[in-house]
Amino acid sequence: MDALVTSGLTRRFGQRTAVGDLSLSVKEGDVYGFLGPNGAGKTTAIRCILGLIRPSSGEVTVFGERDPIRQRAFVGAMVETPAFHRWMTAEDNLARAAAFSGIEKSRIAPALERVGLTGRGRDRVGSYSLGMRQRLGIARALLSKPKLLILDEPTNGLDPRGMKEVRDLLATLARDEGITIFISSHLLAEVEQLCTRVGILEHGRLIAEGTPAALAGRQQVAEIGATDREALQAALEKMSIPVLSDGEQGRLRISLASLSAADLNRHLLDAGVQVNALIPGGRSLEDLFLSLTSEELS
Ligand code: ATP
């Protein structure tokens, strides 16, 4: 069953198209990584999906339900940094949220327990670390026992330990409770191990989608070195072969696209470039992400 489907979802702000013709599907049980550089349109898409803003066109379906109000019964969400009353305790903050949404107070303790904040519920939120506030935001999103959890950059601003805590928590929720998770991020490395499927957004458009392994397989990468690095760079540029990043020992990491390593070597020799190393392989999903979004990063 599809937990979430967007068809032709589009949102314009004046002349600017923040999200353009976005069609994606998240299957029940997926942990879907919604990736893209800053400004790609992730938050706008999530706001449309949650019914917080109206799309210019397109449709959102959640567990087969098309009505935005009825969709809410399935969804728990955290968009951007969660806001809390800092002078109130975590429990009181959640009690307010529960009352606002007509949720029983008895759900508060289990929600705090699920995010590892039992024992800290009576502390003021002002005394919480950013990581704890993010986890409290997830607890708030879990109050309604959602089947689909939508999280916008839940590890934003966290240190590596805080990131790992949130990642581990999400993996547990998906594995032990079967909650479908849709998580946006601008950092591939952060979600790569967690996600069963990944979609890459750029300029509001979905430019790649699939399992991390399938996407990684799309990208043939290699490290290449030459006695004259500048000549190598110039020749690669002429051949429209993208340089992804610096490699080891002065070599360049490149995308081979449809070329074989042998063909590339021959073309470079023809161009008068002395290749002294050509090593295929590497962390190719990251390379794919970089090559697809390189405009934004450079
Ligand atoms: P980030 O990771 O930086 O939050 P994002 O991928 O979530 O980025 P959005 O915040 O959705 O991207 O922004 C996408 C584009 O839409 C940006 O160019 C942004 O300036 C524009 N945009 C977003 N909200 C508005 C708005 N309310 N009015 C006008 N333009 C907007």
Higher local confidence (pLDDT), 35 or 187:
35
Query: What is the amino acid identity at position 63?
Result: F
CA-to-CA distance for 91 and 108, rounded, in angstroms?
7
CA-to-CA distance for 291 and 256, rounded, in angstroms?
11
Which of 273, 186, 184 minimizes the C-alpha distance to 230? 273
Yes or no: say if 158 and 190 are a contact pair by the CB < 8 Å rule: no
Q: How far is CA 76 from the centre of its chain?
A: 17
pTM for the whole structure: 0.79
Q: What pLDDT is recorded for position 297?
A: 41
Q: What pLDDT is recorded for position 145?
A: 92
> pLDDT digit string (tens) for 68-124?
989 999 999 999 778 899 999 999 999 999 998 889 999 999 999 989 899 999 999
The β-bridge relationship of strands 31-35 and 16-27 is unpaired
Which domains are present in the chain? 2-211 (3.40.50.300), 220-282 (3.30.70.870)
Ligand 1 pocket check for 18: Cβ under 6 Å: yes
Higher local confidence (pLDDT), 288 or 237:
237
What does 63-89 look like in DSSP terms, one character per residue? TTB--HHHHGGGEEEE-SSPP--TTSB
Residue 292 pLDDT > 80, yes or no?
no
Mean pLDDT of the 150-165 span: 86
Residue 42 pLDDT > 50, yes or no?
yes
Q: What pLDDT is recorded for position 260?
A: 77
What is the residue with the minimal CA distance to atom 16 of ligand 1? 18
Candidate of 9, 10, 35, 42 to mutate for ligand 1, largest count of ligand atoms within 8 Å of Cβ: 42
Candidate of 10, 12, 16, 293 to mutate for ligand 1, largest count of ligand atoms within 8 Å of Cβ: 16
Q: What pLDDT is recorded for position 130?
A: 87
Q: What pLDDT is recorded for position 26?
A: 96
